[in-house]
Structure 1
Amino acid sequence: MVHSILAAVDGSPQAWRALTVAAGIAGRHRAMLTVVTAVPGPDDRAAARLLGEAASRVPSAVPTSTAIACGPPAAAIVNEVEAGGHDLVVVGSRGRGAVASTLLGSVARSVVGASTAPVLVVKGVDGAAPRFTGILVAVDGSEGCRSALEQAVALARADGARLTLMTAASLRRIPGQPESARVRIQLDLAEHAQAILDDALADLPEDLAVDTLLAWGGVEGAILAEAGSGRHDLLVLGSRGRGLFRASLLGSVGLAMLSRSPVSVLIARPPNRREEVPALAGSAAALTVIAGPT
């Protein structure tokens, strides 16, 4: 359950879209919404006007406050997350000023790595924000991916979304390898992947609609293909994994998901834990879980 949401705005269409999504989530979860913008110094009348416009865009039924965060964008936003005790941060996929910085390059790595709350990166521009209908989640049984599953379940339950658990396994051909050995390895990988799916299913509430999917191939391609299938409008990734998923979520694949995913992306993390994530830069309602073999 989401109780307190922080939405970062900068006046761009993408930021307004993110605010609309954040307000919708706040309304469905009966959560408090805080709208923040980051500025170099405390005396910024333009920031005050921006926050005034932001507040006017939020439905009156959603309890809302505003804040001006001073300092470098990443540090200012992360400090506001901690000071306000927020359990979800929502930003646009592109923007200008503070928000643009938080989504690209080193600042993005700092925000995702240092934030104690999950970060939702909303794709698209200003417009109506429908409820999530299909959620795609990546898990491998690690603590981070289990947190991704828990947070996706909370969103799916509030939105009446469908949950899909997906695992991706990759089998490389080795020159000269007997066909019998290749088949045996493939069966072992499939059994391992199915065990991950079964374990994830066992933790889900029985009243949720759930699908499962095992995809063969590279993790990045499998996630992007499924995210772009039209069945999902949210992709959920854990901020930590192990084995194949540790490399994929914290390396170039994680960055690819944030920059190339056609749907919004939620970077989940275990509660009350902050870690440095040097390789991840940048930020759905069936639920899909993707897990790689370890």
Structure 2
Amino acid sequence: MKRTVLFLFLALLMVNFSRQSFMQAAGAKILFEIRPEVNYVTHLYTLAGLGFSDEEYTAKYGNTLSKAAVDTLQKYKEHLIFGQGEGGMLAGTFFFMISAETFANADSLQKVMDKYQEMAKRYNSPDDVMNIAKAISKVYVDNYDNYLNTVYPQAKKDMEERQNQLRQKMMENPVVKDWERVTGYTWRRGDYHWLLYRAGAKGPSYNNLNENTNTVYYNQYLDYQLAMFSHEFGIFLMQDSIDSIVEEMKEYTRSLDSKKDLTYVPWSAFESMACWYNCKIAGKETEDYRNFGDADVKTFCQIFDSLSNKGITDPAELYRKGIMEYLKHI
């Protein structure tokens, strides 16, 4: 098993271990939460420039992380960064799993790291990967208590006003019912959780941590943020039927004899499908549709319109046939 695949597998195994607890009845609530863990991870990713950036935040809190710590994270940057459905071999652990965990202090964080190390050993991770993971773990553990004391109290205060605003706005939006209506799928995973974070104004904001939890930068343009909340819920709702096709299509696009890199297409199609459904729910072009240029949303939405007009309504079938149609024209 390739090392990248191994660590992503470990990440999924750890994050989804309590799957059954999410399989609850319908009537889910949309919850906006503020927790230190995801804020700590985005703090580190931002100050070390690991695909996140925030000049205002760095100017304010840059001195809370030593140069040695930044240098260590930068040294292993290729293992930690992620985006557009792809990621370094350790991104699953050090961004996604840590963000989804709960730990009160550095000692409890160390126990979490020890648990990951033991699991990696059981799956025979190579020594060089283990050594890199240990070096990164040390940065995470050594700086956590200082973060809790000097950064998080103010960061939490900054986010609370937006948290209350979002709660009020979401009371007016029947996101779950709308998506169930347009897809024909049923949501069975209980409450849907948004974890707000303070660092990293620029970066991959919407990141799925498990089957009903997502992350978001707290202070985005409100209309865009509300559209993206719906967009991401749709991704969650559809992923059981589409994730396996995503992987199949990744392999298929890699096998094609083309001068263009087509590996973006499966990601692009899924994001575009969420935009397409979002527009149907809203009855107009939504902010995600206007802001997902990298995904070639306009082209994909035209394809989905055409397929839908031919009577194809199942999201998984639309996704697969949409990709095959798209590939004919590029």
User: How does the TM-score come out when normalised to structure 2?
Assistant: 0.28
Relative to its length, the structure with more helix (as a share) is 2
Relative to its length, the structure with more strand (as a share) is 1
